[in-house]
């Protein structure tokens, strides 16, 4: 059995187990942190999956707008405008989330 943890990750696991065994901290109202560790490979796979789904949705929107407007140029312009507007609004809404409830 090891007396000292080999890495920082193992020490955090041991800290979590000791904190878990002590019971809930009354100053945190029973809330606990949940740490999700994503490896580098899974991060890139998730990003690639998001990009593929995003492009598929954009393609469906372009096809739908071409049927409505009968113009590929107008349909692509509408989709680019809609997607860029949604990204801009999402970026603005997600800024300073930590400062929002202080």
Q: Looking at the chain, how many residues does it have?
A: 102
| CA atoms of 43 and 40, how far apart (whole Å) | 5
| CA atoms of 91 and 86, how far apart (whole Å) | 8
| CA atoms of 70 and 65, how far apart (whole Å) | 8
Convert the pLDDT of each residue in 62-91 to its tens digit: 999 999 999 999 999 999 999 999 989 988
Q: What angle do CA 18, 22, 35 make, to 5 degrees?
A: 55
Residue 63 dihedral angles phi and psi, to the nearest 5°:
-60, -40
Domain ranges of the chain: 8-25+32-94
Convert the pLDDT of each residue in 40-68 to its tens digit: 677 788 889 989 999 999 999 999 999 99
Q: What predicted TM-score, i.e. pTM, was given to this entire model?
A: 0.53
């Amino acid at each position: 059995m090891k007396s000292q943890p080999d890495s920082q990750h193992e020490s955090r696991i041991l800290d979590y187990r000791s904190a878990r065994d002590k019971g809930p901290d009354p100053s945190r109202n029973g809330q606990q942190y949940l740490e999700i560790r994503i490896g580098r490979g899974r991060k890139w796979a998730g990003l690639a999956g998001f990009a593929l789904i995003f492009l598929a949705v954009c393609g469906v929107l372009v096809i739908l707008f071409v049927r409505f407007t009968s113009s590929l140029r107008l349909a692509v312009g509408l989709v680019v405008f809609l997607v860029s507007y949604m990204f801009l609004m999402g970026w603005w809404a997600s800024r300073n989330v930590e400062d929002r409830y202080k």
